[in-house]
Amino acid sequence: MDKKGFTLIEIIILIVMAGILLPAIIVPFVTGVRGSGKPEKVTTAMYLAHQRMEELMKFPYRKTGLNNPTNLTGWAPVTIGGVVYQWQWEILYVDRNFNVLGNGIDPPNDRRYKRIRVQVRDPETTDYEIYSVVTSFP
């Protein structure tokens, strides 16, 4: 017999093997594509945190302004490119070991340091925090 082609058994074996192997290949690919936007969200969230930190640190230590001590603020929305992020911040008096002095807001005897903390929450509710310390030393 000089006929060429596949038998029914060979085709069934090919279908079964494809049914086993394709999901093992496609699932990681789809998961990777779905999470590909996360680095952009992380970068934007960190950009927002650093932007707010710069605003809070632009005043000299003793001058009143945005760097007055305050407890953690409520979440405030920030929209970037149609995507809504949220941010909050706090400014507290701390000692040289960065322990909060008193309630953190009332000026203590040793008030040479203020700790600034900025939190940003991305649309997937992941929080990012940055800290900085402002000092009264010249």
Residue 100 scores a pLDDT above 70? yes
At 75, which CATH number? 3.30.1300.30
Please indicate, yes or no, if residue 7 is contained in any of the structural domains: no
At 111, the pLDDT band (50, 70, 90 cuts) reads: low
Q: What is the pLDDT of residues 3-57, one digit of tens each?
A: 778 888 999 999 999 999 998 888 888 877 776 778 888 899 999 999 999 988 8
Domain range for residue 60?
38-135
Please indicate, yes or no, if residue 14 is contained in any of the structural domains: no
Please indicate, yes or no, if residue 4 is contained in any of the structural domains: no
Backbone angles phi, psi at 88, to 5 degrees: -150, 160
At 107, the pLDDT band (50, 70, 90 cuts) reads: confident
Cβ contacts of 101 within 8 Å, gap of 6 or more: 92, 93, 94, 95, 108, 110, 111
Please indicate, yes or no, if residue 122 is contained in any of the structural domains: yes
Residue 58: predicted pLDDT: 83
Q: What's the whole-number mean pLDDT along residues 95-119?
A: 84
Torsion of CA 32, 33, 36, 37, to 10 degrees: -140
- Please count the structural domains in the chain: 1
pTM score above 0.75: no
Please indicate, yes or no, if residue 31 is contained in any of the structural domains: no
Residue 113 scores a pLDDT above 70? yes
Please indicate, yes or no, if residue 65 is contained in any of the structural domains: yes
At 2, the pLDDT band (50, 70, 90 cuts) reads: low
3-class secondary structure for the chain?
CCCCCCCHHHHHHHHHHHHHHHHHHHHHHHHHHHCCCHHHHHHHHHHHHHHHHHHHHCCCCCCCCCCCCECCCCCEEEEECCEEEEEEEEEEEECCCCCECCCCCCCCCCCCEEEEEEEEECCCCCEEEEEEEEECCC
Residue 136: predicted pLDDT: 75
Please indicate, yes or no, if residue 59 is contained in any of the structural domains: yes
